[in-house]
Amino acid sequence: MTSLTIAMVGSGGTGVVALGEMLLRAAAKQGLYGMLRKTFGPQIRGGESAAIVRLGSEVVANLSSDIELLLVLDWKNFQRFADEIPFTESTILVQDLQAGERPPNLPEPNTCLTLDFLGLAKAMGSSHSNLTMLGYVVNWLGFPQNAVVSAIRHRLQKHPQNTIELAIAVAQQGAELLRDNPIPLEAPLASSDRLENLWLASGNQLIGLGALEAGVRFVAAYPITPASDVLEWIAGEIESVGGHLLQAEDELAAVNMAIGASFGGVPAMTATSGPGMALMSEAMGLAVASETPLVVVDVMRGGPSTGIPTKSEQVDFNLAVYGLHGDAPHVVLGALSVADCHFTAGWATEIASERQTLVVVLSDQFLGQSSQIMPALETTGFGARLDQTEVSQTSQEGSSVETPPDQQRQQRYFRYLDTDSGISPLALPGQPGGMFTADGLEHNAAAVPSPKAADHEQQLAKRLRKLDSLVDSDHWAELHGQGSVLLICWGSLYQVSLEAQTLLRGKGIEIVVMGLRLLSPLPIQNIQQAMQHATQTLVIEQNQQGQFAHYLRSFDLGNLNFKQYCRPGPTLFTPREIVGQVETLISSAGANK
């Protein structure tokens, strides 16, 4: 078996998420690949929670369509997760003796093991049935005891030694249960030769790593689900590289603090989710107009308004691309996998500094809060280039600068010089001869406020022009496979689409998967070229209105056309769902002939 999915459910506080985390870490210790998705209700404790762990002998970058094994500590509130846990009669059910009554409308499982996990733990003076269950499952997976011991030690590292010892003993008791109660399923095989080079990371942590490695040294933070752990990871690391994280009073402050730091020449970012980015959008326009580098990360959650804070949805595309007032050209990137959060955050940092503008990075709750075992990531090589530039000494023809007779300042330095690339020489505070006032008011090339038509046109044009060459970057998309059907997606749907591609290949259908990383400015020529090579194109996204598809249609596609499949969250796209859509697409084309 190449992969195996284990779901765990229980009411909040039963330790389901801890069980998932320990299971994943034990698997990583054994050289298995895997992924953990935590899913919560809106309450932090006392509500409901579930964890889904998918393990495999090859890299696992998304969840599967199926659940092979369901572990139930407690049936209470299971219904709230029923959408996310596709339970069928072939799912093997392992439940605690005291899990309560199974909800009536579930299919009857072919295999159901009811074991006294809680009783066993209680007999040892513990109340943690998740530990007995951990020992049981890890034993079935064939991991040696040290894998579970190290996972427990890591999880309980801040607890006293006797707590840790007890936890290990409880897990050991759980392991004993397997002898008389085997699970009739094949476990994925671990490989021991990659032990040294595996990482365990979430997308939110990797956003932080990518940004800090690329040179971000100031982060302003306002807590919001599901982006807080980007900020928390950075808070733990940024001082060690000489930077600062400042907790702001609100998102309005956070984004403006980042702009202030960046004006001082220190690469800066903030991270938030939809509601926070809506509040930030005014100042994001300021970053564009004042040409101050800025990275804003949006870990998307269900919307609109407060929406579904703990679930994933690709709903902020419109806000990211169209959400600024005025003509405010900026860059929007989308991370394509948990691992790609690292790459995309690094690239965003570099673009923002190089082009002196705003870069929005779209991630989502799935990428951000799922933990994945992955091959250790190489450094991206991206770096903020915000060093002081030699400021121009020449005056600008055609500019409306009025130079006061007794002042030489405007003659010496044109902060917003209209250059071929649109990028102007940037002076930083502390640099003699470069004094200027950065401004959100429209200004002329010398940074003096100006409402004149010629200045407005010049500055608008340069701010747009400086993004032009981005579409030539090799990083605009990931393209995978060859075939007559082109599947275009972005964000967390890319990895699901790749698995769908593999499933389709098994059915004799070859498709090309295009995962777009550069969403704005859109590399439309590259997309058109790929569409020309395809007989059919399908655009998929996880939102109700087809936000990206509408955007794509706003470009001149000539006689090229595409079909779209979009639906809202909070349930994740599954590979099988995409397979179904591609098959429908192909058969409808056949019917039209």
Partner 1 sequence: MIAKEYKSGVKPIWCPGCGHFAVLNAITKAFAALEQAPENAVLVSGIGCSSRLPAYINSYGFHGVHGRALPVAAGLKVARPDLNVIAMGGDGDGFSIGGNHFLHACRRNVDIVYVVMDNEVYGMTKGQASPTTPEHWEHSKLTPHGPEVRRFQPCAIALAAGASFIARGYSGDPNGLAHMLYEAVQHPGFAFIQVLSQCPTFCPEQVQWKKTVHPEDACTPDPVQAAAFLHADDGLAKGIFYRNPRPIWPVKHQAIKPANLRQGFEI
Q: Is 237 in the site for partner 1 (CB under 8 A)?
A: yes
**Smallest distance, partner 1 to C-beta of residue 331, A:** 20
Q: Is 217 in the site for partner 1 (CB under 8 A)?
A: yes
- The residue among 107 and 433 lying less far from partner 1, judged by its C-beta, is 433
The correct pick among 246, 308, 524, 560 for binding partner 1 (CB under 8 A) is 246
Q: Is 395 in the site for partner 1 (CB under 8 A)?
A: no
Choose the binding region for partner 1 from 42-50, 113-121, 199-207, 476-484 (rule: CB under 8 A).
Answer: 199-207
**Smallest distance, partner 1 to C-beta of residue 218, A:** 5
The correct pick among 439, 442, 577, 583 for binding partner 1 (CB under 8 A) is 439
Q: Quick one: residue 397, left, alpha or beta (phi over 0 = left, psi -120 to 50 = alpha)?
A: beta
- The residue among 166 and 266 lying less far from partner 1, judged by its C-beta, is 266
**Smallest distance, partner 1 to C-beta of residue 196, A:** 8
Q: Quote the CA–CA distance of 122 and 428 in Å, as a whole number.
A: 64
- The residue among 358 and 516 lying less far from partner 1, judged by its C-beta, is 358
**Smallest distance, partner 1 to C-beta of residue 213, A:** 7
Choose the binding region for partner 1 from 64-72, 347-355, 373-381, 465-473 (rule: CB under 8 A).
Answer: 373-381
State which of positions 276-335 bind partner 1 (CB under 8 A): 282-283, 285-286, 290
The rounded radius of gyration (Å) of the Cα atoms in the chain is: 27
Q: Is 240 in the site for partner 1 (CB under 8 A)?
A: yes
Q: Is 200 in the site for partner 1 (CB under 8 A)?
A: yes
Q: DSSP for 365-404?
A: HHHHH-EEEEEPPPP-------PPPPPP-S--TT------
The correct pick among 440, 528, 560, 564 for binding partner 1 (CB under 8 A) is 440
The correct pick among 48, 74, 96, 213 for binding partner 1 (CB under 8 A) is 213
- The residue among 129 and 228 lying less far from partner 1, judged by its C-beta, is 228
Neighbouring residues of 403: CB distance < 8 A, sequence distance ≥ 6: 410, 411
**Smallest distance, partner 1 to C-beta of residue 47, A:** 29
Q: Is 451 in the site for partner 1 (CB under 8 A)?
A: no
Q: Is 430 in the site for partner 1 (CB under 8 A)?
A: yes
- The residue among 129 and 344 lying less far from partner 1, judged by its C-beta, is 344
Cα 532 to Cα 260, 430, 501, 537, 579: the distances in Å are 46, 53, 20, 9, 22
**Smallest distance, partner 1 to C-beta of residue 411, A:** 11
Choose the binding region for partner 1 from 34-42, 370-378, 464-472, 582-590 (rule: CB under 8 A).
Answer: 370-378
- Closest among 399, 414, 383, 419 to 293, alpha carbons compared: 383
CB atoms within 10 A of CB 194: 14
The correct pick among 407, 482, 559, 592 for binding partner 1 (CB under 8 A) is 407
Q: Quote the CA–CA distance of 584 and 79 in Å, as a whole number.
A: 31
CB atoms within 10 A of CB 2: 11
Judge residue 428's burial from the number of C-beta atoms within 10 Å of its C-beta, 0-12 exposed, 13-18 middle, 19 or more buried: middle
State which of positions 248-267 bind partner 1 (CB under 8 A): 248-250, 252-254, 256-266
Contact 477, 518 (CB under 8 A): yes
Q: Is 160 in the site for partner 1 (CB under 8 A)?
A: no
Cα 196 to Cα 32, 147, 278, 471, 477: the distances in Å are 12, 14, 43, 37, 30
State which of positions 10-39 bind partner 1 (CB under 8 A): 25, 28-29
- The residue among 286 and 488 lying less far from partner 1, judged by its C-beta, is 286
- The residue among 160 and 404 lying less far from partner 1, judged by its C-beta, is 404
**Smallest distance, partner 1 to C-beta of residue 413, A:** 11
Choose the binding region for partner 1 from 99-107, 160-168, 206-214, 361-369 (rule: CB under 8 A).
Answer: 206-214
Enter the tokens of residue 223: 């807590």
Cα 200 to Cα 17, 27, 52, 374: the distances in Å are 16, 10, 16, 6
Q: Quote the CA–CA distance of 518 and 221 in Å, as a whole number.
A: 25
Q: Give the three-state DSSP class for 362.
A: strand
The correct pick among 1, 441, 454, 461 for binding partner 1 (CB under 8 A) is 441
| Identity at 498, one-letter amino acid code | L
The correct pick among 429, 473, 510, 544 for binding partner 1 (CB under 8 A) is 429
Sign of CA dihedral 424, 428, 433, 438: positive
By rule CB under 8 A, what count of residues binds partner 1? 68
Q: Quote the CA–CA distance of 586 and 573 in Å, as a whole number.
A: 20
- The residue among 34 and 303 lying less far from partner 1, judged by its C-beta, is 34
Q: Quote the CA–CA distance of 225 and 81 in Å, as a whole number.
A: 19
- The residue among 363 and 444 lying less far from partner 1, judged by its C-beta, is 444
- The residue among 26 and 73 lying less far from partner 1, judged by its C-beta, is 26
Q: Quick one: residue 459, left, alpha or beta (phi over 0 = left, psi -120 to 50 = alpha)?
A: alpha
Choose the binding region for partner 1 from 65-73, 89-97, 245-253, 356-364 (rule: CB under 8 A).
Answer: 245-253
Q: DSSP for 223-235?
A: --TTTHHHHHHHH
Q: Is 382 in the site for partner 1 (CB under 8 A)?
A: no
Neighbouring residues of 92: CB distance < 8 A, sequence distance ≥ 6: 68, 69, 70, 109, 110, 111, 112, 113, 183, 184, 185
**Smallest distance, partner 1 to C-beta of residue 72, A:** 29
| Alpha helices per DSSP H over 507-570 | 524-533, 547-553
Q: Is 358 in the site for partner 1 (CB under 8 A)?
A: no
Q: Quote the CA–CA distance of 3 and 69 in Å, as a whole number.
A: 12
Where on the chain is the footprint of partner 1 (CB under 8 A)?
Answer: 25, 28-29, 195, 198-201, 205, 209, 212-213, 217-218, 220, 237, 239-241, 244, 246, 248-250, 252-254, 256-266, 268, 282-283, 285-286, 290, 373, 376-377, 403-404, 406-407, 409-410, 429-441, 448-449
